Structure 1
Amino acid sequence: MKKIHLLFLLSFLVSFSVKAQDTIAKNSPFSEARYHYFLKTILFFNEYLDTDSGSFNTTQLRFLHPIANKAWNLRFDVPLISTNTNSINKSGIGDVGVGISYIPYLERSNGIAFRARVVSNSASDPAFGTGKWVVIPTIFYGKYFKQKKFLWIASLEYQASFAGASNRADINTTAFENVVLHFFNKNWIAADVAFRYNSTIEGYQNNAFVEFGRKITPNNLIYIHPSLGFGKDRSYNYGLEVGVLILF
């Protein structure tokens, strides 16, 4: 079943023939804070998660680089993981990821984007990663409301493992996520609900968050992002993320 889902998403990506505009619209849905496709971006964040088996802290560096006519975007993720489980503290590199995004359709008020990511089985310790190579295709739809004071971005993502340690659980998760952002002055506030169905455990690992952000300079942004897992099979109880974005 997971292969059918993956083939469907990939075939939809290939068959979608509408070309992105040569000149990308400024102030479009994918140019806003946290979804900036059109400038080189460095994101540095720290995320703390509380789980039933202990805590996980991720310090991550993410780099995004637009290419071609800026309808394409490359992404690299390098995480440093710290765990505190069963009174044992560990730290090391997590699973490094790379991705590419494409925007086939974009106007000033709405747009569609695709992303394909591969997360490698590269963690320095089994506790810091999934033990699998994972492919993650995603489709996004963004739309402004109320004279661009509100932005809605919905995404449908599928995560599937295709190689890795045989003694680790397969990755087979579908996620549908909706985030609404409200902009005022140099600030934004966002709310998000994500529904995730994990076919491996046959359970839902949902979460929700609110986010508060501010532009501290024209090219530097900061945010704070508390979150909450919900559902009996949730992957964590609560979390807190704090980040800095640098656009150039």
Structure 2
Amino acid sequence: MRKLLLLLCFILSHWGIVNAQDKKTIRSEQNPFSEARFTYFKETIVLFNEYLDTKNGSFNTTNFRILKPIGNRAWTIRFDAPLISTNSNTINKSGLGDLSLATSFIPYLTKKSGIATRLKITSNSANNPNFGSGKWVISPAVFYGTYIDTNKKLLLISDLEYQFSFAGSKNRADIRTTVLESTLVYSFAKNWISSNVAFRYNETRQGFQNSAFVEFGRKLTPDSLFYIHPSVAFGGQKSYNYGIELGVVILY
């Protein structure tokens, strides 16, 4: 954790002097962080529904997300508002989950590769203990994206994130989780196919809560996109069995 925090502090402290190229010119062209599912430079609304099957029943999340670039668009603000519902043999409930706010910053960017950082704070705001962690959580992360072919059809995005709680209910377990994730995206015509694997180590439970998914997406109009991805969890402490997510992305 200490190494990751030091890396983030270093990147943020040097944001004003990196990449002397014309940022507006670069960002108006194709680059790793302007792809369909990694939009940093346009106002974006994402609405998705994720269904997860767990050993104790099902868990459904309908999430509203809005992204707003600011300044010279090296910075982005993101807000998430999830609506949670659970379904088990004994209880069915719905309510608001934990709201979160994140800011992203891109200190380095070319037409082929880029580095981004993100700092997310998740609040203890769920109106039912089953719909949230019961903790305030801060999650620093660093991302690296690069095209791995000359035609810019194949994109690799990798990130390292550390999630840790700093306040909240004393009756809930602390959160200490390291996430290493990679996504490979192949774009063709108005479509894309991607694969993702995420390795998560939960220090509190002392076990892995990994997951993987395959995603299929299509651009419906120049400013609207649809995607679907089934997922599966694996690891000794996995938090669910399998899931499916459907989403719509709107650029405005």
Please classify the TM superposition score into its range, dividing by the shorter chain length.
over 0.9
Write out per-residue CA displacement over residues 166-213 of structure 1, whole angstroms, 9 at most, x where no aligned residue.
000101000000100000100000001110000001100000000000
Q: How is 1:11-50 mapped onto 2 (pairs within 5 angstroms)? A: 11-17=9-15, 18-19=17-18, 21-23=22-24, 24-25=26-27, 26-50=29-53
AA of the residue aligned to 1:22: K
Q: Offset at 1:9? A: 4.4
Query: Which residue of structure 2 lines up, in the alignment, with residue 66 of structure 1?
Result: 69
Q: Which of 227, 230, 233 is the equivalent residue of 2:237?
A: 233
Q: Which of 164, 167, 174 is the equivalent residue of 1:163?
A: 167
CA distance in 2, matches of 1:160, 1:16: 25
Contact kept in structure 1, 2:11 and 2:107, CA below 8 Å: no
- The percentage of counterpart residues that share the same residue type is 58
Q: State the superposition RMSD in angstroms.
A: 1.3
Query: Which residue of structure 1 lines up, in the alignment, with residue 187 of structure 2?
Result: 183
Q: Offset at 1:52? A: 1.0
Instruction: Tell me the secondary structure at the aligned position of residue 11 of structure 1.
Output: helix
Instruction: Tell me the secondary structure at the aligned position of residue 51 of structure 2.
Output: strand
Instruction: Tell me the secondary structure at the aligned position of residue 13 of structure 1.
Output: helix
CA distance in 1, matches of 2:227, 2:127: 29
Q: Which of 169, 174, 193 is the equivalent residue of 2:178?
A: 174
Q: Offset at 1:84? A: 1.2
CA distance in 2, matches of 1:19, 1:99: 22
Q: Does 1:242 align with 2:246?
A: yes
Q: How is 1:101-116 mapped onto 2 (pairs within 5 angstroms)? A: 101-116=104-119
CA distance in 2, matches of 1:86, 1:213: 34
Contact kept in structure 1, 2:8 and 2:117, CA below 8 Å: no
Contact kept in structure 1, 2:105 and 2:118, CA below 8 Å: yes
Contact kept in structure 2, 1:97 and 1:120, CA below 8 Å: yes
Q: Offset at 1:113? A: 0.2
Q: Offset at 1:16? A: 4.2
Q: Offset at 1:245? A: 0.3
Contact kept in structure 2, 1:111 and 1:142, CA below 8 Å: yes
Q: Does 1:214 align with 2:222?
A: no
Distance 1:5 1:235, change over 3 A: farther
CA distance in 2, matches of 1:119, 1:160: 10
Contact kept in structure 2, 1:9 and 1:137, CA below 8 Å: no
CA distance in 1, matches of 2:14, 2:189: 37
Contact kept in structure 2, 1:173 and 1:196, CA below 8 Å: yes
AA of the residue aligned to 1:38: F
Query: Which residue of structure 1 lines up, in the alignment, with residue 82 of structure 2?
Result: 79
CA distance in 1, matches of 2:43, 2:156: 23
AA of the residue aligned to 2:244: L
Q: Which runs of 5+ in 2 are unaligned?
A: none
AA of the residue aligned to 1:19: V
Query: Which residue of structure 1 lines up, in the alignment, with residue 152 of structure 2?
Result: 148
Q: Report how many aligned residue pairs link the two structures.
A: 246
Write out per-residue CA displacement over residues 60-91 of structure 1, whole angstroms, 9 at most, x where no aligned residue.
00000000000000000000000013421000
AA of the residue aligned to 2:113: N
